[in-house]
Amino acid sequence: MSPRPPGARPLGFPRSSRIRRRSEFLLVQRRGRRRVQQDLVAVFLSRRPGETEGTARVGFTVSKKVGNAVVRNRVKRRLRESVQHSWAVLSDAPVDVVLIARSSAADATSAALLAQVREAFRAIAGQSTKSAGRTSGGRR
């Protein structure tokens, strides 16, 4: 990764916008909707007004199916970088997203992961704006 030129705007995805607690991961994975990509699955759950205000939050799950610790950490770094480059698409949406790496993510290029994360974020941003207008009804 090359350093940013002087005066360049820093990439998005602040540390405060990460899902960290197991209970939050489980909530998103149990109640959320899925967006399946070739190398990852994006599970997202729109937050209701009054619930943890602020921007979108993202968490990562990379299981041992993906590979050993070295491979899993490489996949997580690539996913974090992809989220940084795609953050502007999703940052204002009141949604929690968990990106789950599939076993094929170990062999995926950074460019492929970036394209898949961007596509998932665009779809999620569109879905979360639609569901933000709903006040009641629908599946839970």
**DSSP state string for 78-106:** HHHHHHHHHHHHHTTS-EEEEEEE-GGGG
**Number of structural domains the chain divides into:** 1
Residue 2 resides in a domain = no
At a CB cut-off of 8 Å and minimum separation 6, what does 10 contact? Answer: 4
pLDDT tens digits, residue range 88-102? 888 888 899 999 999
Write down the pTM of the prediction: 0.82
Instruction: Give dist(CA 101, CA 98) in Å, integer.
Output: 10
Residue 96 resides in a domain = yes
pLDDT at position 139 is 47
Residue 64 resides in a domain = yes
- Mean pLDDT on 75-87: 95
Give which of 19, 94, 20, 92 is closest to 51, Cα–Cα: 94
* Torsion angles phi and psi, residue 57, rounded to 5: -130, 145
Residue 59 resides in a domain = yes
Structural domain boundaries, residue 58: 17-132
DSSP class of 13: -
Residue 69 resides in a domain = yes
Q: How many CA atoms lie within 13 A of 58 on its CB side?
A: 29
Length of the chain counted residue by residue: 140
Write down the mean pLDDT value for the chain.
85
CATH number at residue 83: 3.30.230.10
pLDDT at position 6 is 62
pLDDT tens digits, residue range 45-72? 998 766 666 788 999 999 999 999 999 9
Residue 140 resides in a domain = no
Residue 11 resides in a domain = no
- Mean pLDDT on 116-139: 72
Residue 115 resides in a domain = yes
